[in-house]
């Protein structure tokens, strides 16, 4: 049976003039994706991630 670990992250981005919100969020989410985290839900600024726990044999 697959097992997962979970991560809750509050994402708050301080926007300055000329800051591209979509680019900043994409960079943040891609960084977490490279670590194996998969976005599983959002509630306002709270983002929920999960990733499978791979067992070493």
* Dist CA 43 CA 19 (whole Å): 23
Q: What are the two backbone dihedrals, phi and then psi, of residue 26, each rounded to the nearest 5 degrees?
A: -60, -45
> According to the model, what pLDDT value does residue 55 have?
81
> According to the model, what pLDDT value does residue 24 have?
83
Q: State whether residue 44 is helix, strand or coil.
A: coil
> According to the model, what pLDDT value does residue 8 have?
97
* Dist CA 41 CA 11 (whole Å): 13
> According to the model, what pLDDT value does residue 18 have?
64
More reliable by pLDDT, 55 or 4: 4
pLDDT digits over 1-45, tens only? 899 999 999 987 776 766 787 888 899 899 999 999 999 999 988
> According to the model, what pLDDT value does residue 15 have?
67
Domain ranges of the chain: 4-52
* Terminal CA-CA length for the chain: 15
């Amino acid at each position: 049976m697959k097992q997962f670990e979970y991560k809750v992250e509050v994402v708050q981005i301080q926007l300055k003039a000329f800051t591209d919100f979509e680019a900043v969020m994409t960079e943040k989410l891609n960084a977490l994706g490279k670590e194996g985290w998969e976005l599983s839900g959002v509630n306002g600024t709270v983002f929920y991630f999960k990733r499978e726990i791979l067992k070493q044999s």
